[in-house]
């Protein structure tokens, strides 16, 4: 019985995921509709899970709200210690936390596959080739502490 519990814990640890849908995460997003998608598993090498930078495909307007869409691809919610998602912007001045989103809702923990659409304020400064980072902080002792996804973006003043 203990062996089965240990095996289940190892499988759970190896398969937690976070996907960044918009702006599109680095790399590809294949398998998004399947819980446990390999392209959504980045647990090492903060801030971006070891994926290399790409040319920004999205430009957000400085000082305005931007819509960010991400998916909890595999759930690790624990009632005693509910986790959260952080949305950060990395640039020349380091990391800026734009928003923290609790991992809870009507069911006290959204299931695998839940899409989150949030409106976050962009800083009132220009940032070329910035990194938009979403972090799933699980607070689950049976799972990795954090999962990362990044997208390369620009933040520009309206011209």
Is the alpha carbon torsion for 19, 120, 86, 49 positive or negative? positive
The percent of residues above 90 in pLDDT, for the chain, comes to 45
The percent of residues above 70 in pLDDT, for the chain, comes to 86
Average pLDDT, the chain: 82
Q: pLDDT, tens digit, for every residue of 82-127?
A: 888 999 999 988 999 999 988 765 446 677 788 889 999 999 999 9
The total number of structural domains that make up the chain: 1
Check residues 159 and 67 and name the one with the higher pLDDT: 67
Please report which residue ranges of the chain form alpha helices under DSSP H. Answer: 2-13
Q: Residue 151's closest CA among 80, 53, 50?
A: 53
CATH of the domain at 55: 2.70.50.50
Domain range for residue 41? 2-156
pTM: 0.83
Residue 153's SS3 state is strand
User: Does 7 score more than 60 pLDDT?
Assistant: no
């Amino acid at each position: 019985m203990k062996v089965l519990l240990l095996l289940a814990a190892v499988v759970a640890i190896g398969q937690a995921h976070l996907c960044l849908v918009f702006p599109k995460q680095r790399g590809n997003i294949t398998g998004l509709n399947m819980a446990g998608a390999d392209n959504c598993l980045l647990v090492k090498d903060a801030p971006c899970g070891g994926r290399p930078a790409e040319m920004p495909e999205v430009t957000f307007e400085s000082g305005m709200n931007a819509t960010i869409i991400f998916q909890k691809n595999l759930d690790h919610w624990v009632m005693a210690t509910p986790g959260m998602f952080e949305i950060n912007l990395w640039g020349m001045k380091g990391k800026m936390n734009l928003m923290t989103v609790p991992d809870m809702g009507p069911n006290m923990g959204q299931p695998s596959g839940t899409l989150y659409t949030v409106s976050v304020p962009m800083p009132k400064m220009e940032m070329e080739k910035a990194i938009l980072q979403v972090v799933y902080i699980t607070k689950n002792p049976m799972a990795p502490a954090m999962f990362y996804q990044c997208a390369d973006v620009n933040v520009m003043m309206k011209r």
